[in-house]
Structure 1
Amino acid sequence: VKMTDVIVIGLGAAGVAALRKLHDAGLQVLGLEAADRIGGRIKTVKFGENNVKDLDLLDVSNLYLNNNNYIQTNGERVPEDKGKSIIGALAEEVARADKKTTKSVAECLREAGRTNELLNKHPTLSKPFIEYYERLNRIGAQGDTRYSKSLRSLEEYWPYPSKKIPVQIELNKEVENINWNADQSNQLVQVKCKDGSVYTAKRVIITASVAVLKERHNQLFTPSLPTAKINTIKDLQLCLLGKIYVEFTKPWWPKSPSYFQILWRDEDKAKFTSEERWITDIYGLDSVASQPNSLLTWVYGGGVEQMERQSLEQVQAGLNKLFDLVLRKQFNVTPIKSIVSVLTEENGSGGAMELSEPLYQGDIPVVCFAGEATSHHRHWDVQGAVESGFREAKRLIKSLQSV
């Protein structure tokens, strides 16, 4: 049995951030990663003539960048200044909203659609822009505004920890069980891996995804998690996001970078069959810096799962139908050369404060929870994941230094 100060389970952005902070504080740390590489969803994807650094947790909040093309699904463009004004009005409504209310962000936005002066001036654009804003900002709760992101958590940024950290890291170590009551007298935690190896630490940080916690929390923790924590995990809503890299024979968009924001009208959604419903969950296409002939297509919500059941040929056909409807009226869209879809992300919306609450032995935090879903401010992107890793590392540094 190997002993250390802190074990960090899961070495994505949150885990690496925690390792760095703990190491810099002089603590002995060990990182355990189930995969054969660190980085989690940050990885390089083979595509086209070059590799693409794919950030599955990338924050794509390009609301105020230049070269935004706001396009309704009937092919009509919305002037960029008007589009930015409407997006700005929605952002202002969220910023002004009472953060102490139990109201969700989606409910706030729906209300703004009825009461905001600027939105009332553009009634036909109000609903498409609100839907686009929700998708861009991962508001979550696909279909039910009551379960979208809370208004209580919406700011702050932390830099990504990119430099090497001289700490012990073990790959291909899938954690099977965390016994957080293994040695009450010394407040020790025992971590058992699927390959039979066992590690002991004074503290543990786990960065498992919401999906993993939902599926495995009963087997993963000994003793079982407190009822309040289990209820939080059960109630967390998953916000799905998928991506498709589309390579064209040559670029057809006017400038690089370019951002195409798709504004869906209900009557245009009706033009797609139930098998094609995933196409109506596409809300944006972005140029890719390292791939001058390619656009990155964003798919939101329930359409992600449906898209992943399609063959590449079906996906390409669906994209061509979308381009015929939306883009080819305004642009000379060149033929698609190749496509590749990327794994989805599953981020919890709501419950971040409760999920981030540690497991205690007495008043000692022995197991801490990190990961983007636990971020109090940005539970949808890399920055939120990093912030959560730093947050829990600071908690344990304070705890261990006070002993």
Structure 2
Amino acid sequence: MWRVTIILVLVSLTMAVDKSVIIIGSGISGYSAASRLIENGFDDVIILEAEDRIGGRINTIPFSDGFIDLGAQWVHGQVNNIIYEMTHEHFEFGSTPFVEVPFTFLFSNGTKADQELFRTISKINFDIFLALDETDTFTGSFGEMFLEVLGEVTMNDSFPVFKDLDLKIIETMKENAERFINGYCALKSWFDMSAKLSAQEDEAGGNLHNTWKKQGFKTVFDFISKKLPDPSQHIDIDSKVQLNKKVTNINYNVIDANSKAVITCEDGSSYEAKHVIFTPSLGVLKKYHESLFTPTLPEQKVLAIKTWGFGAAGKVFLEFDEPFWSEEGEPFVAYEFLWLDADKDEAKAYNREWMLGISAFYIVDEFPNMLEAYLGGPKINQFEASSDEKIIEDCMWALEKFLGKSLPKPKAMTRSKWLSNENFLGSYSYPSMDAERAGVGIKELAESINNDNGEPILLFAGEATDEKYPGNTHAGVRSGFRAADEIISSYQ
């Protein structure tokens, strides 16, 4: 009888199903994938994280009397936004009133612009942006299409604001529109982004600037792990994370259904798993895909990696002893910068050209003494290479120029450095003209690689792999769930 028992035990061991999963990256995609897997009985999960922290491009840090975000900051949308849907009944969001409160327009020589005129033109610009998001037949760049439409608008009698308007004013507003789009979409130039592919992307409805107040975007991880709203349902994901584990190679060259992928790290350690979910940024893929994967990735996936856009945006936070931007109790949300040629030349002469990528300094929700600048454009590398002292000096030079007076120095400053960080190499993806011409895109970026039995061995997640909302944090959650679900379904 004992022989039969031993044989049955041995048989059950040989029939045990291998559900081991290694997730590369502990950003919102990897964290979401782990949550879904563990919740569905996949306990053999390891997350390898190159940084010394969890979060990826969500980087919430203590600052002033709360937390601010050097990476993802707003929950963009409420309708069809998976982050908002999982949190809003248990978290009271704030909002940055970009739509409700008009910007204050200033010239770089210290004079205040005609507010009514510039707010009218700015509204027309914004309406053009919205209209272009619905047009997917233009075969050209977003910048080309915007300028073409704006040119038609300025010649249209239905827009009397442009009648007899100084061409320099129109040119200034064109430049501001480009600064806004470059910063918003993490572009070096709006001529790099495909108008057609951009219009094919979706946007969650409702308020696009929901804030986490003083708690920061890190709060979302408590909801993904179900620590909130009910701690008794908490899924322990953090214990699965191994920090300072930079992956240098993923050998997914499986021979048969029982083979495992082998993951090698920079510190010499190695891991094996039946499934690998790769979540680092498209920037990392662009630079390292040839050395990261053995064998090399499929041709169409490589083409998509090379051609789909991935850019960098920058942030600066300045904290002052008290605000100097409220005038006579009027509502204030932002100073919009209108650069004059002489001041642009001065910025270039003193290595402050990165400042020309800033369209505005604006308030930070729940931090009454703080201003924030968001920038894009071709000089992000100059911004990141500058010392903290020079960043403060440059910001104050610009603010004093535009306000036409001396200002108190900030008591604290912090800023982002996404482009120069080898574990990110930028901020988020965008649909490029190169991708439009190559005829490849998110489908190829997201496609899994299967073994001979059709089981997924190498899967890809991250904001750049979500076909509906790329470039957004809710795309990261969706893609992590998608990859996890693909693994789960392969066992059903």
The answer to whether TM tops 0.5 is yes
How far 1:101 moved relative to its partner? 5.5
Q: State the alpha-carbon separation in 2 of the partners of residues 204 and 72 from structure 1.
A: 52
How far 1:97 moved relative to its partner? 0.3
Is contact 1:365-1:396 (8 Å) kept?
A: yes
Pairing partner for 1:210 from 270, 274, 282: 282
Deviations 1:274-333 (A, max 9, x none): 52211101122232235332111112132221012222232222112211332347xx85
RMSD of aligned Cα (Å):
3.2
Q: State the alpha-carbon separation in 1 of the partners of residues 188 and 250 from structure 2.
A: 30
Is contact 1:113-1:130 (8 Å) kept?
A: no
- Secondary structure in 1 matching 2:198: coil
Aligned to 1:162: 222
Aligned to 1:302: 378
Is contact 1:373-1:379 (8 Å) kept?
A: yes
Aligned to 1:151: 199
> What pairs up with 1:375-390 in 2 under 5 angstroms?
375-390=466-481
Q: State the alpha-carbon separation in 1 of the partners of residues 102 and 414 from structure 2.
A: 24
Aligned to 2:105: 71
Aligned to 2:178: 131
Q: Which amino acid counterpart does residue 108 of structure 1 have in structure 2?
A: M
> What pairs up with 1:183-222 in 2 under 5 angstroms?
183-186=255-258, 188-222=260-294
Deviations 1:218-247 (A, max 9, x none): 111111111222222222333211111112
Q: Which amino acid counterpart does residue 245 of structure 2 have in structure 1?
A: K
TM-score normalized by the length of structure 2: 0.71
Aligned to 2:130: 92
- Secondary structure in 2 matching 1:205: strand
Against the structure 1 CA distance between its residues 166 and 380, is the aligned structure 2 distance closer, same or farther, given a 3 Å change threshold?
same
Larger radius of gyration: 2
Aligned to 2:50: 34
Deviates more, 1:192-201 or 1:222-231: 192-201
Is contact 2:186-2:313 (8 Å) kept?
A: no
Deviations 1:15-72 (A, max 9, x none): 111112222333333222122321123233343x434331402348768532341424
Q: Which runs of 5+ in 2 are unaligned?
A: 1-17, 77-95, 209-216, 226-234, 419-425, 432-440
Q: State the alpha-carbon separation in 2 of the partners of residues 8 and 229 from structure 1.
A: 19
Q: State the alpha-carbon separation in 2 of the partners of residues 267 and 120 from structure 1.
A: 29
Q: State the alpha-carbon separation in 2 of the partners of residues 162 and 83 from structure 1.
A: 42
Q: State the alpha-carbon separation in 2 of the partners of residues 231 and 266 from structure 1.
A: 40
Deviations 1:110-142 (A, max 9, x none): 332223457784473451453144135316352
- Secondary structure in 2 matching 1:208: coil
Is contact 2:70-2:415 (8 Å) kept?
A: no
> What pairs up with 1:357-396 in 2 under 5 angstroms?
357-362=447-452, 363-396=454-487
> What pairs up with 1:4-403 in 2 under 5 angstroms?
4-28=19-43, 29-47=45-63, 49-59=64-74, 64-74=98-108, 75-76=112-113, 78-79=115-116, 82=120, 85-98=123-136, 102-116=139-153, 121-122=161-162, 124-125=169-170, 126-138=173-185, 140-142=187-189, 144-145=191-192, 150-156=198-204, 160-163=220-223, 164=225, 165-167=235-237, 168-186=240-258, 188-254=260-326, 258-264=333-339, 268-274=343-349, 275-328=351-404, 333-344=407-418, 345-350=426-431, 351-362=441-452, 363-398=454-489, 400-402=490-492
Deviations 1:57-103 (A, max 9, x none): 234876853234142434425348636632541233123302x6654
Against the structure 1 CA distance between its residues 137 and 16, is the aligned structure 2 distance closer, same or farther, given a 3 Å change threshold?
same
Q: Which amino acid counterpart does residue 337 of structure 2 have in structure 1?
A: I
Against the structure 1 CA distance between its residues 64 and 233, is the aligned structure 2 distance closer, same or farther, given a 3 Å change threshold?
same
Q: Give percent identity, aligned residues only.
A: 28
Q: Which runs of 5+ in 1 are unaligned?
A: none
- Secondary structure in 1 matching 2:274: strand
Larger strand share, 1 or 2: 1
TM-score normalized by the length of structure 1: 0.84
- Secondary structure in 1 matching 2:370: strand
Q: State the alpha-carbon separation in 2 of the partners of residues 240 and 69 from structure 1.
A: 25
Is contact 2:314-2:380 (8 Å) kept?
A: yes
Is contact 2:102-2:332 (8 Å) kept?
A: no
